[in-house]
Amino acid sequence: MERIGLYHAQGMILFRLWQADGIPQRVLAHDMHVTPPTASSTLRRMERDGWIERRRDPADHRVVRVFLTEKSRRLHDAAHASFAALEREMTAILTEGEHDVLRRCLLKVQHYLIAAGGEDSGLGCLSTVPPSEGKAKGAPP
């Protein structure tokens, strides 16, 4: 992300918007675990640089929604490909069995975080793996 001029937090905002474009700015701040003024400052820079667009909700003008731009949509596939390549590189030293153990352990942690955080925890990005996949004994539902 830094190679294209984005800081870590800005990359996380894009990942969140790739999951749910047009979410309210207040929700985005909550999901990123930052205060609304901090989110507003970061979003202002991202808007200036053409990564996002903020618009008032037509039904409730008090709500500001955050949308991806074409520039950030084009980055989506490249970002995911980059992370997939990084994952392949980081797990290349593992045997198939070790890779399976690592996956089961990470899924167990994921299920715990989802259960501990509840639906409105900001951990919604973790719910992309089906709950039944890789379920270990004693893992939260």
Closest CA to 32 of 22, 43, 48: 43
| Residue ranges of domains in the chain, CATH in brackets | 2-73 (1.10.10.10), 94-141 (no CATH)
Calculate mean pLDDT across residues 73-98: 87
Residue 78 has a pLDDT of 83
pLDDT digits (tens, 9 = 90+) for 12-66: 899 899 999 999 999 999 988 889 999 999 999 999 999 999 999 999 999 999 9
Residue 118 has pLDDT above 70, yes or no: no
For 72, residues 6+ apart whose C-beta sits below 8 A from its C-beta are 14, 17, 51, 52
Residue 8 has a pLDDT of 82
In DSSP terms, 54 is beta-bridged to 66
Calculate mean pLDDT across residues 117-126: 46
**Segments in the chain forming alpha helices (H):** 8-19, 25-31, 36-48, 70-91, 96-117
